[in-house]
A and B are shown apart, each in its own frame.
Chain A
């Protein structure tokens, strides 16, 4: 094992290399570019044996990944923001074709107005496509999750594509110490890829993406997809626990509970904000406040059962969204989703939505402290004064 002080994008590149991805499709977009630069270096030096294809757009990038995966290669690509938006048509194909492509999404604000910095609306807008979505908190988790993503997606019960999402700049361009596992160990964890059902052979042309034994089964194929992505939850848990046994690190599968014992109030976070929230929760716990934290790692499939179990007996939940859903039932995408997960509990907690950190606006401990105070106050009062609050706006 090697320990290096590297940025999140470089950690991602090591994850790709260790996974032995052998087709890389690259179209640059800030803040993903350093990841693709690193993979280009690795391919040029022979350190990574892969076909590195410089495509003319994100639309083509995912198209090439589809063909590569169907032909038996292990493809990797990465994008974000407008790139993901342009790629959308093919994102649906990847899941519909049931090809286990892994794509890193270096979360960035979407136009217009936009910025180059972190915001999770870009990947969350693809939440209904049938892709598994995993969100990471730091560089180490990015590296480890990319390896896990191939293992999850290529499981023969699933064959689903996986997005590994991490916040632009906050994670992609921030260095921390990252343990880089040995190739031999990763090889034992992640066997070579071979699709059990699909092949692409010019001498024996077949249709991929047909809707069943005969045409007209598109509705049933959708239902099959729903069952499949739901069945991925235990696979995500199992792959993470297998990973812990081999590499000594784990991310608690679908969700991580932090300081949730006897909590009256909970915060829900996803991505880099989690680290800041941990510190605030620690401080409040030291003062005797009964507050805890749920870190959502898998947004698809959504961890409804886990959330309900953790929420049992809790009075209020504050969902912190680094995304927006204009004109929604209330709050960001995460808040609306949590509401559905909680609503049929016999006694469900009250829900508060917080939208913050859009377009890379820094989310400070003070912001989280403010949110935590609101959620604790609502727990004490037994009522919600403001359903949704945008935190950190300039005067």
Chain B
């Protein structure tokens, strides 16, 4: 590729063919949060602290969206009842 023939870029760095939510950032994860629903108090601290907004409590059950969870471990660190454990993605 040279200065005379340098690709076929759209006029602005914006791609209508790719939705932002198609980029599954969960694939970056090396450790994953595992929930012990029995220990979970449904206090919602993990929901508040999650920087990605992937933790939510639906019908008194904590749910984590693993498509976008990057495995930072903040939820496990903040959980007062130690209901979340970080485990290796690779056994």
Interface residues on chain A, size class: 20 to 34
Q: Is B38 in the interface zone, CB < 8 Å from A?
A: no
Residues of B within 8 A of A223 (CB): 3, 6
Our pick among A208, A209, A217 for the contact of B7 (Cβ within 8 Å) is A217
Interface residue count on the B side (C-beta < 8 Å): 18
Residues of A within 8 A of B90 (CB): none
**How many Å lie between the Cα of A211 and that of B13 in the bound state?**
6
Query: Which B residue sits closest to A197, measured CB to CB?
Result: B12
Our pick among B9, B15, B18, B21 for the contact of A224 (Cβ within 8 Å) is B9
**How many Å lie between the Cα of A197 and that of B15 in the bound state?**
9
Our pick among A196, A204, A220 for the contact of B19 (Cβ within 8 Å) is A204
> What are the interface flags for A199-228 relative to B under an 8 Å C-beta threshold, 1 for contact and 0 otherwise?
000001111111111000100110110000
Q: Decide: A212 near B13, CB < 8 A? Known: A205-B20, A206-B19.
A: yes
Q: Which of A214-267 contact B (CB under 8 A)?
A: 217, 220-221, 223-224
Q: Is A299 in the interface zone, CB < 8 Å from B?
A: no
Cβ contact within 8 Å between A220 and B7? yes
Residues of B within 8 A of A197 (CB): 10-12, 14
Q: Which of B1-43 contact A (CB under 8 A)?
A: 1, 3, 6-16, 18-21, 23
Residues of B within 8 A of A209 (CB): 13-14
Instruction: Identify 25 residue pairs between A and B in the complex whose beta-carbon atoms are under 8 Å apart, listed by A's number.
Output: A97-B12, A97-B13, A98-B13, A98-B14, A196-B11, A197-B10, A197-B11, A197-B12, A197-B14, A198-B14, A206-B15, A206-B19, A207-B14, A207-B15, A207-B23, A212-B7, A212-B13, A212-B15, A213-B9, A213-B10, A213-B15, A217-B7, A217-B9, A220-B7, A221-B13
13 more CB-based (< 8 A) A-B contacts, given A197-B11, A209-B14 = A159-B11, A206-B15, A206-B19, A207-B15, A207-B20, A210-B18, A211-B13, A212-B9, A213-B8, A213-B10, A217-B7, A220-B6, A223-B3
